[in-house]
Amino acid sequence: MHTSTASAIIIDDLHKKYRTNHALRGVELEVTAGEVMALLGPNGAGKTTLVKILTTLLEPDSGRAFVNGWNVSTEPEKVRSTIGMAGQYSTVDGLLTGFENLYLLAKLRGVGRRTARRVADDLLSRFRLTDVAGRPAGAYSGGMRRRLDLAAALVGSPPLVVLDEPTTGLDPESRLDTWEAVGELVADGTTILLTTQYLEEADRLADRITVIDRGRVVAEGTSDELKATAGNRLVVYVAGDHQLDAAARAAAQATGAIPTVDRRARRVEAAATDGRAALGRALAALEREDVEVLEIGLSRCTLDDVFLGLTSHARREAA
């Protein structure tokens, strides 16, 4: 069955267990053609498992997934012909040159030699690898190697590219490089599903973000929508160090949340889900505690606040 192609990915109630470890517990997800979707989640959330199912490397236990209209379980070869994939670990062959890697992949896609050569040359130039095209990929820097990985995912111009943690383990400069390369794909209109543990990456690259945790989707939306769901933060600056504890007490009373205290900045912050009402209560509580306030206000949550709030148990368990 070939369903409508307006959705690049449709995932319905997907489950996957490794023995007793329930890695995916009913994942629902839809990615529209042409958009960049970030699958954001901590280590062990189930990102790679989901990506492996979508790219037909792994069978789900139950549920359904469609990629470009094709069912991953019953039409895997159709799915494979319409996606490009770059994993968390490099898949290019280190003994082959950059050119040879891309050339062979193009040949595998069934094109003739001349076309394969052109595809390889074009991609090498797009990803600024022309100068090192004749060198074994094993000798490339981390950033160059990721660029070659991305180029490899683009051989055959697939309408959907799946990138599993494309910048994990990269130094900051190579990360910027990779972001630029992903930006190139976006300009092309390619649909992208990328997984990441980095908020900044999701915020920067994605049109929409799906937060996944312990095998479930826990939030979904644009970065602005996600920030809005988390409410505000109450921020209080006090005049003296000795007033910080009293200010923290007042902030806790006003918000019902556990405040964080930055002693150096003499600042107390707490999540305030009901915004202005919390601000009013905070003013009264600070007055009762006799705190000299230098500055008080509400600030919008950052994506970090949202992510930390949604996935805090993961760190508690790790601790």
Ligand X SMILES: Nc1ncnc2c1ncn2[C@@H]1O[C@H](COP(=O)(O)OP(=O)(O)O)[C@@H](O)[C@H]1O
What residues make contact with Mg ion under the rule CB under 5 A? 47-48
Q: Using CB distances below 5 to 8 A depending on partner kind, what does residue 98 bind out of ligand X, Mg ion, none?
A: none
156 torsion bin: left (phi>0), alpha (psi -120 to 50), beta (else) = left
Of the two residues 265 and 318, which places its CB atom closer to ligand X in the complex?
A: 318
Write down the least CB distance from residue 58 to ligand X, Å.
Answer: 9
Instruction: Decide if 152 contacts 81 (C-beta within 8 A).
Output: no
Radius of gyration of the chain (CA): 24
Of the two residues 48 and 190, which places its CB atom closer to ligand X in the complex?
A: 48
Q: Using CB distances below 5 to 8 A depending on partner kind, what does residue 74 bind out of ligand X, Mg ion, none?
A: none
Q: Using CB distances below 5 to 8 A depending on partner kind, what does residue 299 bind out of Mg ion, ligand X, none?
A: none
Cα–Cα distance, 253 to 250 (Å, whole number): 5
Write down the least CB distance from residue 209 to ligand X, Å.
Answer: 15
Q: Using CB distances below 5 to 8 A depending on partner kind, what does residue 45 bind out of ligand X, Mg ion, none?
A: ligand X
DSSP string, 159-210: SEEEEESTTTT--HHHHHHHHHHHHHHHHHT-EEEEEES-HHHHHHH-SEEE
Cα–Cα distance, 281 to 275 (Å, whole number): 10
Q: Using CB distances below 5 to 8 A depending on partner kind, what does residue 44 bind out of ligand X, Mg ion, none?
A: ligand X
Cα–Cα distance, 312 to 299 (Å, whole number): 21
DSSP string, 287-309: HHTT--EEEEEEEEPPHHHHHHH
Q: Which residues bind ligand X (CB under 6 A)?
A: 18, 21, 23, 41, 43-49
Query: Using a CB cutoff of 8 Å and minimum separation of 24, what contacts does 113-119 make?
Result: 119/155, 119/156
Of the two residues 195 and 232, which places its CB atom closer to ligand X in the complex?
A: 195
Cα–Cα distance, 240 to 249 (Å, whole number): 15
CB atoms within 10 A of CB 299: 12
Cα–Cα distance, 158 to 190 (Å, whole number): 8
CB-closest chain residue to Mg ion: 48
Write down the least CB distance from residue 19 to Mg ion, Å.
Answer: 18
Write down the least CB distance from residue 5 to ligand X, Å.
Answer: 27
Of the two residues 41 and 143, which places its CB atom closer to ligand X in the complex?
A: 41
Write down the least CB distance from residue 287 to ligand X, Å.
Answer: 47
Instruction: Decide if 117 contacts 103 (C-beta within 8 A).
Output: yes
3-state secondary structure of 259: coil
> For residue 65, with 0-12 CB atoms within 10 Å meaning exposed, 13-18 middle and 19 or more buried, which class applies?
buried
Q: Using CB distances below 5 to 8 A depending on partner kind, what does residue 14 bind out of Mg ion, ligand X, none?
A: none
Of the two residues 23 and 150, which places its CB atom closer to ligand X in the complex?
A: 23
Write down the least CB distance from residue 212 to Mg ion, Å.
Answer: 11
Of the two residues 49 and 178, which places its CB atom closer to ligand X in the complex?
A: 49
Of the two residues 46 and 84, which places its CB atom closer to ligand X in the complex?
A: 46
Of the two residues 84 and 87, which places its CB atom closer to ligand X in the complex?
A: 87
Q: Using CB distances below 5 to 8 A depending on partner kind, what does residue 21 bind out of Mg ion, ligand X, none?
A: ligand X
* Amino acid at site 246: A
Write down the least CB distance from residue 167 to Mg ion, Å.
Answer: 13
Write down the least CB distance from residue 79 to ligand X, Å.
Answer: 19
